[in-house]
Structure 1
Amino acid sequence: MRTATDLTRRDTIAAYGTVRTGGEPDLHGLVHLAASLCGVTRAVVNIIDDRWQHQIAAEGFDPAICAIEDSMCAVVLADARHVLVSDAREDARFADNPFVTGERDTVRFYASSPLVTPDGVVIGTLCVFDDVPGDLRPEQSHSLDVLAHHVVDVLELRRLTRELGRSNEELSQFAGQISHDLRNPLTALMGQLELAVDGLAIDDEPLVSRALTKAESAAARMDDMVSVLLKYARTGGQLRLGDVDLGAVIAASVDDMAAAIAESDATVVINAPLTVPGDATLLRVLFQNLIANAVKFAHAAGSRPLVEIAGEPTTTGWRITVDDNGPGVPEDNRERMFELMERGNTGDVPGMGLGLATCRRIAQAHGGRIGLESSPLGGARIWLFLPDHQALRA
């Protein structure tokens, strides 16, 4: 069973994007140096998620993938410290491992140093090993630790470079498209409300008055969302941070979408009794996009839409999931769905491909991450991780 720590590690790995590349040439020099300094024939950078060990850079052999159950490094990952084993056959942790028994390899000497991110999450190891027993001098063990820190430095540098690589042109396009997609219908809505308030013949004045007041209030909230989102897109964003009742924010998003939910006969279940640090307006935009997508695509596929939203605390923040019973998204398309103007194979479903790009930008503005996977309901699951910055600094 996957633990909260497993999921945090997986989410952190996803932010680096290393597993998808199929290899990390920038790290080859570091693993070569690790093998040389430790006097062994083989060294490897292992990234270990909740299911797999990914060898993303290797010296002395071709990198591959193995199940976490077979991984030697996964056994010691939770300790987050340097490990040195002279002969793995004599160590109870490794004696029956397929990399020791000959089923997959004949490892004897083994040493590893953890890869710890700046947020304190252990995502894998820098490992050296050989098929004969061996040992390391203290200075060699120290060198392995130092090189492990440099591996994380390389991954951090590549992540930051990728994030900062968004051009001003993209930001301008993003802001313009948001304006076109949201401001025009908002203007039309408010114009019609003004006409209704000024000239509608009212038969049931209290009922109509309440409805119009509620509609005007919803329009004002939409205007606030658009203004904040446009400001964020154009300037890089200034969050209005505070303690956010996430359940209330999600419920408000559902209330704003009451007409669309009723039209598609959708059911939305909320189980997210969390208080998180964030910008309430931007988080409302995020969940409105996620719920709208879930309802829209499930309905278009001929299903009676079911959306389940759940949240729970982790050791370093909060994990929220939005599940639906729609058609889902093929694995090789999932990352691409978060790109600007990307709609995938959506057929006749209306939209401009802005929803998930907007959600990722908002998640990143909060220091968080967002991704897509299969849902237990049969459709898509969007997962969102929001960090507890105080916990990460502790």
Structure 2
Amino acid sequence: MNAALPYNELQRLAHLHALNILDSGREQSFDDIACLAMSLCRTPIAVVSLIDSDRQWFKSCVGLHATETSRDVSFCAHAILRPDDLLVVEDATQDPRFHDNPLVLGDEHIRFYAGAPLVSAEGHAFGTLCVIDRVPRRLDQLQLNSLQLLARQVMQLLQLREANQALQLSQQKLLTLYNQAPVAIILNHLDDGRFIEFNPEFVRLIGYSAEEILRLNTADITPSEYAEEDQHKLQRVAATGRYGPYEKHYIHKDGSLIPVLLNGVLIEAPDGEQQVWTFIQDISERKRAEQIKNDFVSAVSHELRTPLTSISGALGLLVSGKLGSLPEKMDSMLTIAHKNALRLSQLINDLLDMEKLIAGKMGFDLKRQPLVPIIEQSLESNKAYADSFDVSLSLHICADEQDIPLMVAIDAHRLQQVLANFISNAVKFSPPHGQVEVHLIQQLREIKIAVIDQGPGISDEFREHLFQKFTQADSSASRQRGGTGLGLAISKTFVERMNGRIGFDSVPGQGATFFAIFPLANRASDLSVTPNH
């Protein structure tokens, strides 16, 4: 008598096939459970049987020389119809389902069968753990219970096997990614920087063999000038679990320098040791492209500067009236031309300043001097510009200026450039009849210079790009107001070269505050900086 199909047959078969166990080799763990079942139930045969669409296949078969039989003659095909119960056939010749079964009438001479279904968490009965005898018999309750417990252990093995296969597949994918990745990947000890693992791309990047790399640490391939910053990054990764992006150089085996961009994450090894995975991008091509761009911009800027200075000067003389009065329409057109020439001159000056900063050729003359006169001079210099936008400028001092002059060690000319950028930006983005306030705020041993406007503020998506080169908050609006996109990038470098810090505060729609903070140098002990050239 053929068994009916389970109600969930399609899902059951799909899950069974997903286990990738059918037609696999013998495994000792399954054979051990079959042997234990055979011993407990005192039968000559024990089988771990899985029911496929048209066959029953034996993962383990102890005492019977077969690997599979047709599903049509399978006792187990009946057993899986009731996943929660054992199927016990004490005498197959007396059971109408099996009395004419070829396995009963033929050489196998099966008389007794007891099968415990192998049931997944989803309720799919894949097959059975069964014991078989060639004579009629009966199992006691302890044997029946033991058979069910062992069947559950078979299911645990199947699930572990499935999980292990998934893990192996995942590991293989990661290993392929690791070995074929176009970026270098390394694993180091956090405490001493020794290399633990690295992918082939890292070997290619630095030119050492794998055996040589294992005898090195990160300090061996890093120029000495990065020692302090490297230590800072190690402290950061230990505190936060990650670091980067961090731009530096590695030393190739041939002595050449390789520009790289690093990002790292902290992990804990099974023994508790802290280690760091680092992802390394070779940015040599990017640096070469940047150098080509910088050389081009520099060449063009230098070529334009001299003729543009002459053009601006000539236009200035014309619109000033020193060469005689002009017709009204011509005066208007020349005024526009003069303003645009000045704007272009400012762009070229910014480009040349940036070139000097990148090349490290810009000198700074840091001198101890009073701060307030520099601020007042900057306000006076920018007053005409603010007037053209109908914006007023004011200075507010929140410090002990009355008792002790606020002294700072700075380059006055470079600070004037920073303030001009802060103030001009504040004026451009302020509404008509608005006010730009400059606040000096003493904070213990530091002084904060804050420029506050009443403009639209800084949008959230623009904040992280604010001090990058050629960046403007709103391209369309900024084009109308003018600007190169270099001012804040230059200002940031100027402030940091004068031992200060730069930043901003803003709420969209409520204006913005740009500030620079410098150490006070009111006393001789405060003056710990030296001129930087």
- State TM-score, norm by structure 1: 0.46
Structure ID, larger Rg: 2
Higher normalized contact order (CA 8 Å, seq sep 6+, divided by chain length): 1
* TM-score, scaled relative to structure 2: 0.35
